[in-house]
Structure 1
Amino acid sequence: MLWWTNKRRVRTLSNAALCVLLLSFLPLAAEALPLIDDRGAAIERKRPAARIVSLAPFITELIYAVGAGGKLIAVSAYSDYPPAARALPRVGDAATFDVEKLLALRPDLVIAWKSGNSLSEIERLERLHIPVLVVEAQKLDDIPRVMRLIGSAAGAADGETAARNFTDRLTALRLRHRDKRLVSVFLEIWHSPLMTVSGRHFASDALTVCRGANVFADAAGLTVHVNVESVLAADPEAIVGGASNEDRGALARNWQRFPYLKAVRNGHIFYLHPDLIQRQTPRILDGVEQLCAALESTRKPAGSPK
């Protein structure tokens, strides 16, 4: 009886030891799983990235948002938020980057912008055995997904929390405005030449949260050159702009020569800081809140306080 008890105890201990051994391999197995980026490419990883280069300002901001800013060793031009990013070395801009300078920094991960960075230069880095994670956020709902992807690549514990917070806040904004009257809007992203965005652009997606209707939603491409005559024909209830304008005054002055335009006639010209509507980061929800407040003022009866 004693022999059986001891044998069973030994077997129990052996099973426990086996479980511990198997569990010890789980982190290694999880680390070995490749990340699938927005090209559909598999990025092999043995451990979280520790030396990261960002090739777009919004990517820089997202890296900080998931708590991995301390792993950044270089960024692209115009990476100005948060302020800590301004102190980092620059390796180029969104359109091109200095491959030799980047290689000298010995990064273990480069995070690139699918629609902004050169594919040939990305492939060159990969031929030189530099892992490149390529991301794209075309809609607001893509932003938390990209945050999770970057957080996973960097081993950042805050990635999931940041993503959930973004989704919760976005859901609340949609619920708050879903029954509002639709307002037609011209989104001006540049004045000379006059440019807007189509319905496939994330800035247009932001507009829909506020029950705004992009008057050029059906245009081809993402960013679109338009003429003044087409804006006059659309006669939007509101004009929303930023980028090439310093403030609302500059934006309004550009349109004052068209007093018969509905948005001009009613004073429904609104300025948004471009970083709050043209960067795919958590701050875009600050821009959405400002945008929703602006469009709400267009729904008030004439003569009522705005």
Structure 2
Amino acid sequence: MAPRVVSLVPSLTEAVAVSVPGALVGATDWCTHPAGLDVARVGGTKNPDVERILALAPDLVVANEEENRAPDLAALRAAGVEVLVTEVRSVEQGFAELARTLTACGAGSRPAWLVEAERVWAELPVPGVRRTAVVPVWRRPWMVLGRDTFAGDVLARLGVDHLWAGHAERYPRVALAELVAAAPDLVVLPDEPYRFTPDDGPDAFPGLPCAFVGGRHLTWYGPSLAEAPRVLAGALRAARR
């Protein structure tokens, strides 16, 4: 019998829901996949309702060291709930953490989508041409990808090197003038956590090609990993001024 699971991470919610049907009993308000997911909602990733989670009597809560706050996880543990916390800074680490999480949630074997995702990324050709990029993740203030991020590793494997990869912080605040002065080959604009759009983002980078990418393909580690290389490569090719 699968354990009762509450997920505090959208990508893990999708992974558990499609891999271990019936295990998931709760998820955050931001857990949008799979479509039509019918489980109790327990608040946001940064402000989950701990009492609501406890009322669901979960055997396991799955979380992430970056997306969720340590005090919330500590409160769950103090109440006697087992909490599994993932740490994902690269594609390979994402695969390992997915396998660990799904096993803990009752999966008897690696699901087909995970096997396919591992194959797709392993067979990804070495990019012939590399490009530099600025990758904002927030506006007002401007924040960009810095060191040691899953999204940065995803882009690097697709031939895009973001210019703040060597920064001491993982998501540094950088003045817009400095971002523009860096003269990247392109600007990669995701739709989460800040929702950049053709009308909100490119205006700050006049003359620079902008690639609009879905956050689910750039930052989620779950079933979307199987199609992420193809989808992201297409978006990067379509970068326009």
TM-score w.r.t. the length of structure 2 is 0.88
Q: CA RMSD in A?
A: 2.2
Counterpart position of 2:106: 155
Inter-partner Cα distance in structure 2 for 1:58 and 1:125: 21
Task: Report which stretch shifted further, 120-129 or 70-79.
Answer: 120-129
Amino acid at match of 2:187: I
Counterpart position of 2:205: 255
User: Does the Cα contact within 8 Å between 2:147 and 2:171 map onto a contact in 1?
Assistant: no
Counterpart position of 1:52: 5
Amino acid at match of 2:202: A
Q: Find 1:83's aligned residue among 35, 44, 47.
A: 35
Inter-partner Cα distance in structure 1 for 2:178 and 2:201: 18
Inter-partner Cα distance in structure 1 for 2:170 and 2:2: 32
User: Does the Cα contact within 8 Å between 1:144 and 1:164 map onto a contact in 2?
Assistant: no
Inter-partner Cα distance in structure 1 for 2:233 and 2:51: 45
Task: Report which stretch shifted further, 88-97 or 73-82.
Answer: 88-97
The 3 A distance-change label for structure 1 pair 63 and 286 is same
Give the aligned length.
Answer: 237
Radius of gyration: which is bigger? 1
Provide the secondary structure at the position in 1 that maps to 2:41: coil
Structure 1: give runs of 5+ residues left out of the alignment. 1-47, 299-306
Amino acid at match of 1:231: L
User: Does the Cα contact within 8 Å between 2:158 and 2:229 map onto a contact in 1?
Assistant: yes
Counterpart position of 1:73: 25
Counterpart position of 2:189: 241
TM-score w.r.t. the length of structure 1 is 0.70
User: Does the Cα contact within 8 Å between 1:56 and 1:79 map onto a contact in 2?
Assistant: yes
Counterpart position of 2:73: 122
The 3 A distance-change label for structure 1 pair 247 and 158 is farther
Inter-partner Cα distance in structure 2 for 1:166 and 1:117: 25
Relative CO higher for 1 or 2, CA cutoff 8 Å, sep ≥ 6?
2
- Deviation at residue 179 of structure 1 after TM alignment: 4.2
Q: Which runs of 4+ in 1 moved over 6 A?
A: none
Provide the secondary structure at the position in 2 that maps to 1:53: strand
- Deviation at residue 74 of structure 1 after TM alignment: 0.7
- Deviation at residue 162 of structure 1 after TM alignment: 3.6
Amino acid at match of 2:216: D
Between the aligned residues of both structures, percent identity stands at 22
Amino acid at match of 2:197: D
Going by fraction, where is helix more abundant, 1 or 2? 1
Inter-partner Cα distance in structure 1 for 2:151 and 2:2: 31
Structure 2: give runs of 5+ residues left out of the alignment. none
